[in-house]
Structure 1
Amino acid sequence: MCVLSPRLYIPLPPPQTTLGDIRKSIAEYTHLDLGTFKLIHSGAVMKGDSFPITAHSIRAGSTIQIVGNASPIPGRRSSSISSSSGRESKIKPRPTEETTIKVIHDEMSQVRTKLVPPLQSLHDTLVATPVVNKDVLRQEHTRLGEMLLQSLLRLDALSPESEWADARKERKMAVKEVQGLLDQLDAAWKAR
């Protein structure tokens, strides 16, 4: 994914895509004329529309700034940009606070329905009975630990805007809950 300005995210096109193709797609998307804006990457104005994007070191996560005149950029016309290969690539809209909160709630719903019951079962087994089959319990401990860590990573990948107080609070509570489950798992494993 390549980030264009603070508001537009596009999938990274194939490496052979030229800067001119990117510029045309941006012009079409923003309704700006080709000559009315510059593209800046890593502090340098990108020139040479015939060069592939790899010549400008554009890769996944790169940020490209669009600099033009002071007139406002008109609203979006469509939800896709054509790449040089002729395929249409869908542009993912920037997440809103509501969609971010929904993603957090969905993640926690998955944790609560898919991980908490087996975690409780493992905890009860470790506390209540002498360990009979250590390998099975070790595998379950490892599996649950990895699943909880993956959940933490997914939550960590969300980066709510600083003004989204509710989303930041939800994310913080979700991380705390998952971390607490991971701590319970480790405490039960150590106490066996």
Structure 2
Amino acid sequence: MGTPKEIADGLFHWTTVHPEIRVRVSSYYLKLERVLVDPLLPSPRGREWLARHGPPEHILLTNRLHSRHSAQLVAAFGCAVWCHRTGLGHLAPSLKARPFAAGDELPGGAHAVAIDVICPDESALLFPRVRAAAVADGVVRHGRGPLSFVPDDLLVDDPHDLERVKRGLKAAYRRLAEQPFEHLLLAHGSPLLHKGRSALLAWTET
């Protein structure tokens, strides 16, 4: 599904095959806020679509690995890129990415929430207007299935760390589920609409 679909008021979602990992990943655009989240360009004619629906002004990353097509979007629209401060050193200097920390308010009224555990820059982003929370790699959804972790060998380098990391992630997402939101926007998998917070909370309790 390369064409963006409006899933809530002014909130668009699409999936695109990631050119490096060769799997479909999710991207999001908040039209009124002119904010992209973890963006790969929609296709076909993704730049033209974004120009008609904005154009975008800001790119928010849930972690440093999700810069994706940010360089192309900066070149096309002059977007400002935002990443957690601990991830900035891993991004191309040409992006001139701006730092944020947990608790900061970001463009579009977004609020940054620490997830950490996998890597220090793993973050969630809350978007109050559309009552949505965007998450990175700590929780995923295969297709339209249930929430889950990524495979164990992708989650940790040392198998002895596995249970500690899983406990830490569930604790972090349990804290996130205390926030007021309805939609869960996953970087990997289809978004969970309306029941996202309750589904996330239930998963942390398994």
TM-score interval, smaller chain: under 0.3
* Higher percent of residues as strand: 2
Say which one has the larger Rg. 1
Structure 2 length-normalised TM: 0.23
